[in-house]
């Protein structure tokens, strides 16, 4: 194998073997990937790439159907199930010439954000004793370890953004319905999204364009400066981070991130989110997800309760206990929150805030309860949100969340890329 994509694949496989202890991958399609890499190299050699991600290695979360691969969604009760067809987004990746390398581990059923799979915890490459976040934690670990540059995860309340923050990579929860969910195991239809995860923010846009079926001309822009991106609009910044659980380290990096945005020419205006009570909204969204999952798993849980961990059973039992009145109360809570956020966003190009209140936690310690308190804002409001590293290096990363108006996903990608580029040039 003398061609570049094939060589890249072999180097990736060697890294994956060396990093087996990270527990990031659940399935590798080595022969299939080798064939795809050879075909991609032939297209590149003839000057006929299919897209901006031609020949790139891609990992897919375990709840996304890939023909002939396990289709388990991290669930013990689905162990042994194999997908018969590709998910819609997988078909788009194949058409774009991507090389599908394998499948990554995840929290069971995507109903969690800790990075604990049924095959053990997924280890954070930045600090292996610590969480990767979830539920797309295996993809984040593979990206942070340098196995791949592109991955696809799913995000219901923060499941591509929390791992991005914890592992120092980039991700995007897109606008609802931008990326087709056909062939992806559901959590809740109102909140589920598939989203790109990348080693660098500049790769978000080309991967998003493939996944969403956008024209190739939009996938490789000449990035303008922030003034050109924003026009006369301002960026709102969350001022009440500490009141919503932000730790001193996160706040320190966040303030430096705001300074970087100002240096790029952005006009920043303060936004107070505490009156909207995102914590209550997160509880409402999660409860609705627990109910939806309880409905899906009712029969299987009754037949084989041993296939569900005690933690997952507790969530499903709670979801099953919710009355119609309580469910309506939660739905109303989410609707009112969404309307309030939309009003705040009207004069803004974007809203920035930390992706998570804290950094990756030690698996041997307690699990924070506020993992999704800041990611739920874009979820409940139905807005796109990118996560880009505020800091990496040898320390535990911190993520900055960039929320834009519905449909302005490419703006979120471009702002994330500009923000990251400024850090590298500083």
- pLDDT, tens only, 258-302: 999 999 999 999 999 999 999 999 999 999 999 999 999 999 999
Within-domain flag for 16: yes
Asked if the model's pLDDT at residue 119 lies above 70, the reply is yes
Tell me what pLDDT residue 2 has. Answer: 46
409 neighbors 178 (Cβ within 8 angstroms): yes
Per residue in 278-288, pLDDT (tens digit) is 999 999 999 99
Average pLDDT over residues 224-244: 87
d(CA 137, CA 104): 8
d(CA 364, CA 370): 18
d(CA 60, CA 136): 9
How much is the pTM? 0.96
Per residue in 36-50, pLDDT (tens digit) is 999 999 999 999 999
Task: Examine the domain organization and report whether 37 and 160 are in the same domain.
Answer: yes
d(CA 214, CA 178): 10
Task: Examine the domain organization and report whether 151 and 239 are in the same domain.
Answer: no
| CATH number where 80 lies | 3.90.1300.10
Average pLDDT over residues 134-145: 98
100 neighbors 133 (Cβ within 8 angstroms): no
Task: Examine the domain organization and report whether 214 and 252 are in the same domain.
Answer: no
42 neighbors 2 (Cβ within 8 angstroms): no
Q: Are strands 193-198 and 150-155 parallel, antiparallel or unpaired?
A: antiparallel
Within-domain flag for 291: no
Task: Examine the domain organization and report whether 119 and 245 are in the same domain.
Answer: no
Domain boundary among 218, 236, 263: 218
* Bridge partners of residue 270, in order along the sequence: 237
Q: What is the rounded average pLDDT for all residues in the chain?
A: 95
d(CA 380, CA 399): 20
Within-domain flag for 387: yes
Per residue in 182-200, pLDDT (tens digit) is 999 999 999 999 999 999 9
Asked if the model's pLDDT at residue 217 lies above 70, the reply is no
269 neighbors 235 (Cβ within 8 angstroms): yes
d(CA 219, CA 43): 19
- pLDDT-based confidence at residue 215 (cuts at 50, 70, 90): confident
Task: Examine the domain organization and report whether 75 and 174 are in the same domain.
Answer: yes
Q: Indicate if 61 belongs to the active site.
A: yes
Considering 40, 131, 159, 165, which one is annotated as catalytic? 159
* Length of the chain, in residues: 426
- pLDDT-based confidence at residue 221 (cuts at 50, 70, 90): low
Average pLDDT over residues 330-358: 97
Average pLDDT over residues 155-171: 98
Asked if the model's pLDDT at residue 222 lies above 60, the reply is no
Task: Examine the domain organization and report whether 201 and 246 are in the same domain.
Answer: no
Q: Indicate if 199 belongs to the active site.
A: no
Tell me what pLDDT residue 408 has. Answer: 96
Task: Examine the domain organization and report whether 234 and 251 are in the same domain.
Answer: yes
Q: Which of 107, 114, 97 is nearest to 36 (CA)?
A: 97
Task: Examine the domain organization and report whether 73 and 191 are in the same domain.
Answer: yes
Q: Indicate if 135 belongs to the active site.
A: yes
DSSP helix, strand, coil percent of the chain (3-state; round to 5) = 45, 15, 40
Q: What domain range includes position 353?
A: 227-277+332-425
Task: Examine the domain organization and report whether 135 and 242 are in the same domain.
Answer: no
Within-domain flag for 299: no
- pLDDT-based confidence at residue 229 (cuts at 50, 70, 90): confident
- pLDDT-based confidence at residue 167 (cuts at 50, 70, 90): very high
In 58-160, alpha helices (H): 88-95, 137-144
Tell me what pLDDT residue 1 has. Answer: 41
Task: Examine the domain organization and report whether 38 and 57 are in the same domain.
Answer: yes
Q: Write out the H or E segment, with its range, that includes residue 343.
A: helix 324-345
425 Cβ contact partners less than 8 Å away, ≥ 6 residues apart = none
348 neighbors 235 (Cβ within 8 angstroms): yes
Within-domain flag for 149: yes
184 Cβ contact partners less than 8 Å away, ≥ 6 residues apart = 63, 64, 65, 87, 89, 154, 192, 194
Number of domains present in the structure of the chain: 2
Tell me what pLDDT residue 219 has. Answer: 64
Tell me what pLDDT residue 260 has. Answer: 95
Per residue in 362-411, pLDDT (tens digit) is 999 999 999 999 999 999 999 999 999 997 666 899 999 999 999 999 99
Asked if the model's pLDDT at residue 307 lies above 50, the reply is yes
- Ramachandran class of 281: left when φ > 0, alpha when ψ lies in -120 to 50, beta otherwise: alpha
Considering 26, 40, 51, 61, which one is annotated as catalytic? 61
* Bridge partners of residue 400, in order along the sequence: 354, 388
Tokens of 235: 């960026």
Average pLDDT over residues 147-151: 98
Q: Write out the H or E segment, with its range, that includes residue 381.
A: helix 376-381
Which of the 8 DSSP states describes residue 410?
Answer: H
Q: Which of 158, 345, 164, 357 is nearest to 254 (CA)?
A: 357
294 Cβ contact partners less than 8 Å away, ≥ 6 residues apart = 301, 316, 317, 318, 319, 320
d(CA 209, CA 239): 33
Q: Which of 374, 395, 416 is nearest to 257 (CA)?
A: 416
Within-domain flag for 23: yes
352 neighbors 235 (Cβ within 8 angstroms): yes
d(CA 167, CA 174): 20
186 neighbors 408 (Cβ within 8 angstroms): no
Considering 26, 117, 135, 175, which one is annotated as catalytic? 135
d(CA 33, CA 103): 12
Tell me what pLDDT residue 426 has. Answer: 58
Which has more pLDDT, 227 or 184? 184
Task: Specify the 3-state DSSP secondary structure of 149.
Answer: coil
Task: Examine the domain organization and report whether 237 and 369 are in the same domain.
Answer: yes
């Amino acid at each position: 194998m003398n061609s570049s994509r094939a060589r890249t694949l072999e180097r990736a496989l060697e890294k994956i073997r060396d990093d087996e202890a990270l527990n990031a991958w659940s399935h590798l399609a080595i022969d299939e990937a080798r064939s795809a890499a050879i075909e991609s190299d032939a297209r590149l050699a003839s000057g006929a790439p299919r897209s901006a991600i031609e020949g790139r290695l891609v990992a897919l979360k375990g709840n996304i159907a890939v023909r002939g691969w396990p289709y388990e969604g991290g669930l013990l009760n689905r162990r042994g199930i194999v997908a018969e067809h590709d998910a819609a987004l997988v078909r788009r990746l194949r058409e774009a010439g991507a090389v599908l390398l394998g499948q990554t581990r995840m929290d069971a059923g995507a109903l969690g954000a800790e990075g604990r799979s049924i095959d053990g915890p997924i280890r954070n490459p930045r600090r292996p004793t610590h969480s990767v976040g979830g539920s797309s934690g295996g993809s984040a670990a593979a990206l942070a370890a340098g196995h791949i540059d592109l991955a696809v995860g799913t995000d219901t309340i923060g499941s591509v953004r929390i791992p991005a923050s914890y592992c120092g990579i980039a991700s995007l929860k897109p606008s609802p319905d931008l990326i087709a969910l056909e062939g992806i195991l559901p959590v809740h239809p109102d909140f589920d999204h598939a989203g790109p995860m990348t080693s660098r923010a500049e790769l978000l846009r080309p991967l998003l364009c493939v996944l969403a079926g956008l024209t190739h001309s939009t996938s490789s822009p000449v990035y303008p400066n922030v003034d050109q991106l924003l026009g006369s609009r301002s960026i709102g910044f969350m001022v009440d981070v500490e009141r919503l659980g932000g730790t001193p380290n996160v706040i320190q990096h966040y303030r430096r991130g705001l300074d970087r945005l100002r240096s790029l020419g952005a006009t920043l205006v303060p936004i107070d989110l505490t009156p909207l009570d995102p914590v209550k909204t997160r509880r409402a969204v999660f409860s609705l997800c627990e109910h939806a999952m309880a409905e899906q798993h009712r029969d299987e849980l009754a037949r084989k309760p041993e296939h569900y961990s005690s933690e997952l059973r507790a969530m499903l039992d709670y979801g099953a206990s919710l009355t119609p009145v309580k469910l309506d109360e939660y739905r109303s809570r989410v609707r009112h929150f969404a309307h309030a956020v939309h009003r705040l966003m009207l004069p803004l190009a974007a809203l920035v805030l930390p992706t998570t209140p804290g950094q990756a936690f030690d698996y041997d310690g307690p699990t924070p309860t506020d993992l999704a308190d800041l990611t739920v804002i874009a979820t409940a409001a139905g807005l796109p949100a990118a996560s880009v590293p505020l800091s990496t290096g040898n320390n535990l990363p911190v993520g900055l969340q960039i929320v834009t108006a519905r449909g302005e996903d490419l703006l979120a990608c471009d702002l994330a890329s500009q923000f990251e580029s400024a850090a590298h040039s500083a």
